[in-house]
Amino acid sequence: MAFTPLPGTKAPVRVWTDPYGIEPQAAQQLRNIGALPWVQGVAVMPDVHFGKGATVGSVIAMRQAVSPAAVGVDIGCGMSAVRTSLTVADLPDNLGPLRSAIEAVIPVGFAKRDDPVDPRRVRGLEQAGWDAFWRRFDELDRKVAPLEHRARHQLGTLGGGNHFIEVCVEQDGPDAGQVWLMLHSGSRNIGKELAERHIAVARTLPHNADLPDRDLAVFLAGTPEMDAYRRDLWWAQEYARRNRAVMLALLCGVVRDGFPDVGFGEPISCHHNYVAEESYDGVDVLVTRKGAIRAGRGDLGIIPGSMGTGSYIVRGRGNPDAYCSASHGAGRRMSRGQAKRTYSTADLVRQTAGVECRKDAGVVDEIPGAYKDITEVMARQDDLVEVVAHLKQVVCVKG
């Protein structure tokens, strides 16, 4: 579908969903963003919903400025996936032991590792740049220096909330039945700490005094505050990428233990809470994607649904109206609190039928019914991406 302009904004705000269906709080956030003097334009994804400062599912292009709240606190959060040589016929009827094996190797929730990851001991993990990466920790905001131990021990861990690890089966076409591995995670506690510190600094700057929402405070190019944020931002985005790479390599190891002859394709990885330097219509901009992936022409990406519905591997169409972006998932249609008040564990069991996963009260807030319909979300962005593979999970590990 084509975009719909959101009326009443200074900068163009292009919407890839029914603008009248956007929750009022989120619509006001979008109008606030569109009124900022540094904004070149905004692309609103079909999974859009209310967030802190900036809406989740928004792509914001700014000139010589960036808003840390438009990135979010889980800097670099994103997806990784890899296709295996296995088919669904190779999988055992009882997938409980496979889920347990994954959970034994990759800590979930608030857990951290007893010993930090040694890349040399992880088969299939990239070996380059680890020492230089960790040396750069000393250059970060000095207030996070005491967190290095925790950051090292959380690398290669999943986290909680909507983060997950899945074993999926391809649904359609000539490769139906092929098994994929997929995971969703970010920069763990260190990314959150860095983001919150910089958001707090931005709020104190004089040029942000009269903003419609103090959480939209920006850093301006050429200032020490911008330089400090970008330094920490790039590091946190790399931490998130390396975190997913470690887990994907470990996940492949678990599968290899059960299927020694298994083969793996080329991994796909994409951030969906991050900043990139890009250019559109000859204008250099800083693009923040908060709940959106880059979908440049030919770019491979991952758009997951909920823990009981399925996901999509996609190829970008490079639509400049959307700043070459697409949605990052189905998007929530109700808050976690509302989901817990609306649904029971019996509902969770019913909605995740056929999936080996947690089915207890601790994950009711992640129930499929709390999310938008992923098939509808995909239909609304067919001018942004084309579907490469439709996947359905058979195992889902939650934090």
List 64's β-bridge partners, or say none. none
The H or E element that residue 340 is part of is helix 336-342
Q: Which amino acid is at 121?
A: R
| Residues linked to residue 254 through DSSP beta bridges, in sequence order | none
Residue among 49, 163, 272, 328 flagged as catalytic = 328
Please tell me the distance from the alpha carbon of residue 395 to that of residue 352, in angstroms, as a whole number: 10
Token pair of 150, please?
């925790």
Residue 79 amino acid letter: M
CA distance 358 to 399: 9
To 10 degrees, what angle do helices 96-105 and 224-258 make?
A: 140
Q: In whole angstroms, give the CA distance from residue 298 to residue 43.
A: 20
Beta carbons of 314 and 388 less than 8 angstroms apart: yes
Q: Is residue 46 within 8 Å of residue 381, measured between CB atoms?
A: yes
Q: How many CB atoms lie within 10 A of CB 145?
A: 10
- The helix (run of H) or strand (run of E) holding residue 311 is strand 311-316
Is the CB of residue 331 less than 8 Å from the CB of residue 22?
Answer: no
328 is known as an active-site residue:
yes
CB 68 within 8 A of CB 248: no
263: helix, coil or strand? coil
Residue 57 and residue 47 in contact, taking contact as beta carbons nearer than 8 Å = yes
Q: What gap in Å lies between CA 166 and CA 111, rounded to an integer?
A: 19
Joined tokens for residue 43: 């692309």
Q: Could you list the active site residues? A: 328
